[in-house]
Amino acid sequence: MKKILTALVVTCALALGPVSAAAQSATAPKTLIHVVTVSWKDGTKPEQIQAALEGAQKLPSQFPGITRVWTRTVKAQGERTHAIVMEFASEQALKEYAGSAAQKEWYKTYLPVRGASTTFDITN
């Protein structure tokens, strides 16, 4: 009886494996996450950092390909002190954002105080 039960469990696990992978693929987001980790220039004032972060928060209303923005860093490791995360509707939306009027406007407050940054673009 144990052998039959074990065989049944193994068979079910093997049969459900591909279904689980397919279900995960079907529910995986198709958007693109743009993660920027930032350290600021020496002497940057807190209000300048806040202006840069607020500018990032306005981007979804200025560029339709950006769906969400996160700017409140809860924990940071290494030399970067902040992270800015943007969710784009697609890889194409990210490409269209580069050089757009919205990016140029945000860069007016962001680039003068940005010391260094590292960017990751992530999708499924």
Please, which pLDDT band fits residue 12 given cuts at 50, 70 and 90?
very low
The mean pLDDT value of the chain amounts to 88
Please state the pTM of the whole predicted model.
0.78
The dihedral of CA 26, 27, 32, 36: what is its sign? negative
Report angle CA 91, 81, 50 to the nearest 5 degrees. 80
Q: Over the stretch 15-63, which tens digit does the pLDDT of each residue have?
A: 555 555 555 677 888 899 999 999 999 999 999 999 999 999 999 999 9
Q: Over the stretch 76-122, which tens digit does the pLDDT of each residue have?
A: 999 999 999 999 999 999 999 999 999 999 999 999 999 999 999 99
Q: How far apart are CA 45 and CA 114, in angstroms?
A: 12
pLDDT score of 22: 59
Q: Region 3-10: what's the mean pLDDT?
A: 49
The dihedral of CA 13, 16, 22, 28: what is its sign? negative
Q: Find how far residue 20's CA is from the centre of its chain.
A: 25
pLDDT over 60 at 1, yes or no: no
| Dihedral-angle region of residue 122 (phi above 0 means left; psi in -120 to 50 means alpha; beta otherwise) | beta
**Residue 115: how many other CB atoms lie within 10 Å:** 14
Report angle CA 81, 103, 112 to the nearest 5 degrees. 50
In the chain, where the domains are located: 1-28, 32-122
Please, which pLDDT band fits residue 6 given cuts at 50, 70 and 90?
very low
Residue 60 has φ and ψ, to the nearest 5°, of -60, -30
Architecture in CATH for domain 32-122: 2-Layer Sandwich (3.30)
Q: Region 69-74: what's the mean pLDDT?
A: 97
